[in-house]
Amino acid sequence: MIRSAAFFLAVPALAVTLGLSGCASPRAANPSAWTPNRTVASHLTPFWFGNQPGSGPGTGIPSRILARGEKVRFLRNHLGFAEVQLDDLAVGWVPRGVLR
């Protein structure tokens, strides 16, 4: 009985570990280390530099608009947004679900 309970506790933890390990990338420190791992799927995508939208005053207006097919480096998902790094090494946020 103990063995089966341990198995049912270990399997979800292993699945989460394997599922998340290939998703995110660390930030690139220099342009030669930057390689894209996603492209923008929607036609016009808002991009916010620095802080996540809604986290403080002045964060509601996008800093930039990304075009469809623009290459980005996906870093992580957080609260409905994806943190990405552009080819000029700028880090910011796009709405979750607009990358492929």
The predicted model scores a pTM of 0.73
Looking at residue 18, what is its pLDDT? 41
Sheet containing 64-67: which strands, arranged edge to edge? 38-39, 71-78, 81-85, 91-95, 44-49, 64-67
**Helix or strand holding residue 93 (H, E):** strand 91-95
Question: Which pLDDT band holds residue 84 (cuts at 50, 70, 90)?
Answer: very high
The full set of domain ranges for the chain reads 24-95
* pLDDT tens-digit readout, 17-60: 444 444 689 999 999 999 999 999 999 999 999 877 777 766 67
Is 15 a residue whose pLDDT tops 50?
A: no
- CATH ID of 24-95, from 2.60.40, 1.10.150, 2.30.30, 3.40.190: 2.30.30
Q: Do residues 73 and 83 touch, judged by C-beta distance below 8 A?
A: no
